[in-house]
Structure 1
Amino acid sequence: MSTTETATQPGQTALRVVNGHAAEETYKYAHLLPHFSPDKYPPLTPFEHIDPGLRALNHPDPRAFLKGAESVIELTPNLGTQVRGIRLTDLDSDGRDQLALEVARRGLMVFRDQSDFIDQGPQAYLEWGRHFGRLHIHPTSGHPKDCPQVHLVYKDANSTFNFEIQDSITTTLWHSDVSYELQPPGLTTFFLLSQPTTGGDTLFASQVSTLKKLSPSFVAFLRTLSAVHSGVDQANFSRSGKRGGIVRREPVEHIHPVVRRHPVTGEEALYVNRQFTRRILGLKREESDAILKFLYDHIDKSSDMQARVKWEPGTVVLWDNRVTAHSATVDYGDSKERRHGARITPQAERPIPAGDGLVLPN
């Protein structure tokens, strides 16, 4: 018997061809398809963030949660660890604290065979995410109905609810999620509910390693700089009728250090990204543009500082937005297959300047 699934518009059914005959079946994750509520939200307010990784520093064995794993493999020397044989659903509070510390240290962790975690549903996602920080509600993206704290990405043969730039020769767009917020995300959890047969990989870059590649005198200069991160273009993209056409919270701009310090590991990381960083304060426009272009190109081209996650069913990926950048790879469009992902996005602290003398405006 031969069976083939074809993509459909977001809805309750998918079309399958079984022995040459069309048949409809219920999509397992139809309850998690993108919903664009018209709800409006007030501006986010500051809050005190206590990183759970700090608690793990005092644990006699901060990597105890990995005991019993079938395999723990470093994807690259500088970034990323792949784990098999550990069930995320089995981690208690101490285990989650240790996980947060390990993600901070490695930047990226890929857990295979986590279908039980994925199949728990939205309320379990929220309980998981709240351990790591206050959950972010994205101002423009789709979310499961009645669960705005879960950010969705979605593309199939007929629809796309991703932030896609059509007039570019590449779909690669390095960024750190919603870096325009006053308190951007820290540890982030992401998984695919449906994926193309091939393609749709996610790229990651270590912003700790990209910074270390620069000369000490240049890094010293970068530590004195701050930059504006803006959500205006993203909001305007939705207001133009793309994605879902919804802006739930008015866009904001905030000033962050160009080099930030991680509150748990103490590591310094480059903190600019092509999607949201707009200008460096205190410099002439041409000076700011030249430095940012250099840094963006450095991030783009540093393949020795990057890792590539190839998705397989049941994969859950966690990364630390404070010390990594990432990009989707939209290379599967011709296949007409569905790619449906969910992100749990806890906010962290306001970025801490690596330069002791850098003072950010209130």
Structure 2
Amino acid sequence: MSAVETVTQVSQTLSALNLRGGDQEQKTEPYPYANLLPHFSPEQYPPLTPFKHEDPGFRALKHADPHAFLKNATNVVELTPNLGTEVHGVNLAALDGEGRDQLALEVARRGLMVFRGQHEFIDRGPDSYLEWGRHFGRLHIHPTSGHPKDYPQVHLVYKDAKSSYNFEREDSITSTVWHSDVSYELQPPGLTTFFLLSQPTTGGDTLFTSQISTLKKLSPSFVAFLRTLSAVHSGVEQAQFSRSGKRGGIVRREPVEHVHPLVRRHPVTGEEALYVNRQFTTRIVGLKREESETILKFLYDHVDKSADLQARVKWQPGTVVLWDNRVTAHSAIVDYGKSNERRHGARITPQAERPIPALEGLELPSL
């Protein structure tokens, strides 16, 4: 075979391979959750107004068996002694009103619940998500995040090879930022539902910590002092982050700041929980700047370092996670960026009551 014939044959082979590759690319199935990709509507929303929240967990307290919703479970495992329960064999999509009430109570008691094998729940789509969330409270519309088109009540987190719509700080040495969702609202969320529609092969886990347990680790005299304090929670930095052109560049509702107690009481269980977080708490009311910064830094470091009070959720397809935003904090782990894989999550965020001070009679000033 001559050199010319050899070159010709190689060229023909490469062409055939390219054609087959092109055919393969054309046959790639479309992304099944394309209808849930982030959309950034320029629509503006008025300030949120106060409302009366009735926690469904109260109804479950009257049930003869508050754990009846778990009767079909094939496996129930406590992730840690202080926080988190993993459940197999229970179909969230099949829970009736009583089952959802019982779920709310158990999430309040355990802080975090992880349900595996929830493909039916996830694949029912956004109308079902809204119906589910409204059972637990008024649905929150996030002021800056992306949402599926026509469904602003569904908060999305999203990152792929070309874009990121997460609240990430590139100038930090860590992606870990403990927070309680939108704690700057007058009535922050209670029971929260979150799941991934697409996930990296490895990485992208979520960390949770019990703010009940972090409080219990502190000395009684220090807790007594903390119970007398309140702090400002602010949405200003998050809004500025979006206005800088990141996260979609949208601010649908002007940022707010509200004062909440440093130690709050859960309305159903009566448990007391630390209620500050590194992402949204800015200062302690009534203290000098240095005093406030010193106490907040101590509390943030306490939350960061208390690995014995934390649980780590490793995502699997079909996993739905519920947590009580009043008594837990959490952080995404952004360790999968170099893989260029997609991480696409949806959150349903019902609001709850205005945080109840653990110290009866504590006055919460307006800003």
TM-score if structure 1 supplies the norm length?
Answer: 0.94
Change (3 A) 1:217 1:245: same
Change (3 A) 1:22 1:68: same
Match of 1:284 in 2: 288
The answer to whether structure 1 residue 133 and structure 2 residue 141 are counterparts is no
The CA distance in 2 between the partners of 1:226 and 1:115, in whole Å, is 42
**Secondary structure, counterpart of 2:29 in structure 1:** strand
**Secondary structure, counterpart of 1:308 in structure 2:** strand
Return the structure number with greater strand share.
1
The CA distance in 1 between the partners of 2:169 and 2:340, in whole Å, is 18
Match of 2:171 in 1: 167
Displacement of 1:22 in angstroms is: 3.1
Give per-residue Cα distances to partners, 1:34-85, cap 9 Å, x unaligned.
0000000000000000000000001111111000100000000000000000
Task: Specify which of 99, 105, 112 is matched with residue 108 of structure 1.
Answer: 112
The CA distance in 2 between the partners of 1:345 and 1:261, in whole Å, is 20
The CA distance in 2 between the partners of 1:276 and 1:137, in whole Å, is 17
Displacement of 1:183 in angstroms is: 0.1
- How many aligned residue pairs are there? 346
The CA distance in 1 between the partners of 2:91 and 2:132, in whole Å, is 13
Task: Specify which of 209, 218, 229 is matched with residue 222 of structure 2.
Answer: 218
The answer to whether structure 1 residue 86 and structure 2 residue 90 are counterparts is yes
Give per-residue Cα distances to partners, 1:144-187, cap 9 Å, x unaligned.
00000000000000000000000000000000000000000000
Task: Specify which of 22, 25, 46 is matched with residue 22 of structure 1.
Answer: 25
The CA distance in 2 between the partners of 1:358 and 1:290, in whole Å, is 22
Worse overlay, 175-184 or 351-360: 351-360
Match of 1:6 in 2: none
Contact 1:224 1:357 in 2 (8 A): no
Match of 1:245 in 2: 249
Match of 1:77 in 2: 81
The answer to whether structure 1 residue 67 and structure 2 residue 68 are counterparts is no
Displacement of 1:356 in angstroms is: 1.4
Give per-residue Cα distances to partners, 1:202-236, cap 9 Å, x unaligned.
00000000000000000000000000000000000
Match of 1:14 in 2: none
Return the structure number with greater helix share.
2
Gaps of 5+ in 2: 1-19
TM-score if structure 2 supplies the norm length?
Answer: 0.93
**Secondary structure, counterpart of 1:48 in structure 2:** coil
Gaps of 5+ in 1: 1-16
The answer to whether structure 1 residue 188 and structure 2 residue 168 are counterparts is no
Displacement of 1:361 in angstroms is: 2.6
Query: After TM superposition, which residue ranges in structure 1, 4 or more long, deviate above 6 angstroms?
Result: 17-20
Match of 1:332 in 2: 336
Displacement of 1:359 in angstroms is: 1.2
Match of 2:8 in 1: none
Displacement of 1:291 in angstroms is: 0.1
The CA distance in 2 between the partners of 1:267 and 1:96, in whole Å, is 21
Larger Cα-atom Rg: 2
The CA distance in 1 between the partners of 2:293 and 2:361, in whole Å, is 24
The answer to whether structure 1 residue 310 and structure 2 residue 310 are counterparts is no
For 1:338, give the aligned amino acid.
Answer: R
Give per-residue Cα distances to partners, 1:283-320, cap 9 Å, x unaligned.
00000000000000000000000000000000000000
